[in-house]
Amino acid sequence: MAEGSHIESSCAEVHLKRAGKWKWVACVALVLIVSFGVTCWLRPLSVFQAFSQAEMFYLGAKSAFTDVDGYRVHYYALGPADGPVVVLVHGLGGRANDWQKLAPQMAKAGFRVYLPDLPGYGESEKPANFSYSVSDEARIVTGFFDALGLKQVDLGGWSMGGWIVQLVAAEHPDRIRRLVLFDSAGLYVKPDWDTRLFTPTSVEELDKFDALLMPSPPHLPGFIADDILRTSQQHAWIIRRALDAMLTGRDTTDKLLPALKMPVLVVWGKVDHITPLSEGEAMHRLIPQSQLTVISGCGHLAPNECANQIGPVVVWFLKR
């Protein structure tokens, strides 16, 4: 009986130890879940950006930094290292991750795709002494080519990024094989909407801005809207400096576009309210050798929201 009691006691101790271990694991799990929930509530954009970065890594993108004209510039690279090079430039207030639905389609087609964060955006340096004008950002893009040893590339740009790549193509035509403009700015056209909405200060202004960007904007929960407004105000000085430079009309491309000789694809969301389709049609007329593709039901965010429709067209254009 004594031996049996000893065995039972030992078994009880083992069970207690196991129970204690699982209680500890459960407590740790509970703390992690609560911490994640609090982070999602207080900083939902940080959580979204973390998931976006994780998705880029899952897609095989390499994250790296390089020095361009003394500024630290972040970029992603994906696709075969020996493939034809494509560089894609994001728009005002954007980041390299904005291409995460379109760039993988090019990488899968055999292209080596580079996605830089312009100075002031994403993970790149945000220098106080930089102008953030499209002409200075264009010099950064050319410097990015030099920093990575890219002699000749296919170049694409979205919105303000489209304006930037127009300047690059006009100034360095020998380095650009093909040019792709996505819902691009650049023409001497005064916006018919309030540009201050790019740096919203209230939920009402944020809703108005979303309505300009998307045909059917989703309803944002209050805690997400609050975090967007908080983040917007942190970087508002960069956006305002860039907008002020653009609104001078100093760097507009109306007179540059007819001189472009490389093949050009103009891609536009049919219901774009930021840069209306009329601007895409005007660019198409100014570039005799250009091709215009209009995507029905899509707005200014077409390269992201309508990537499945746009991707095959872009890949065909780059491969032809």
Same domain, 198 and 220: yes
Number of domains the chain contains? 2
Composition of the chain by helix, strand, coil, percent to 5: 50, 15, 30
pTM (2 d.p.): 0.87
Tokens representing residue 270 in the block: 């049919």
Same domain, 84 and 30: no
pLDDT value, residue 51: 72
Same domain, 38 and 50: no
Same domain, 221 and 262: yes
Contact status, residue 265 vs residue 180, Cβ threshold 8 Å: yes
Same domain, 2 and 92: no
Q: Residues in the chain, how many?
A: 320
pLDDT value, residue 16: 47
Q: What is the 3-state secondary structure (H, E, C) of 168-208?
A: HHHHCHHHEEEEEEECCCCCCCCCCCCHHHHCCCCHHHHHH
Contact status, residue 57 vs residue 63, Cβ threshold 8 Å: yes
Same domain, 144 and 16: no
pLDDT value, residue 161: 98
Same domain, 228 and 91: yes
Give the pLDDT means over successive 10-residue stretches in the chain (320 positions): 52 54 55 48 63 82 97 98 98 96 97 98 97 98 98 98 98 98 97 94 95 90 87 93 96 98 98 98 98 98 96 97
Tokens representing residue 211 in the block: 């309505």
Same domain, 31 and 50: no
- The CATH number given to whatever domain includes residue 274 is 3.40.50.1820
pLDDT value, residue 11: 55
Range of the domain at 27: 1-42
pLDDT value, residue 34: 45
Q: Which of 66, 166, 156 lies closest to 113, judged by CA?
A: 156
Beta bridge partners of residue 89, listed in sequence order: 157
pLDDT value, residue 25: 52
Same domain, 22 and 118: no
Same domain, 271 and 139: yes
pLDDT value, residue 311: 98
Contact status, residue 290 vs residue 264, Cβ threshold 8 Å: yes
Same domain, 121 and 255: yes
Same domain, 194 and 61: yes
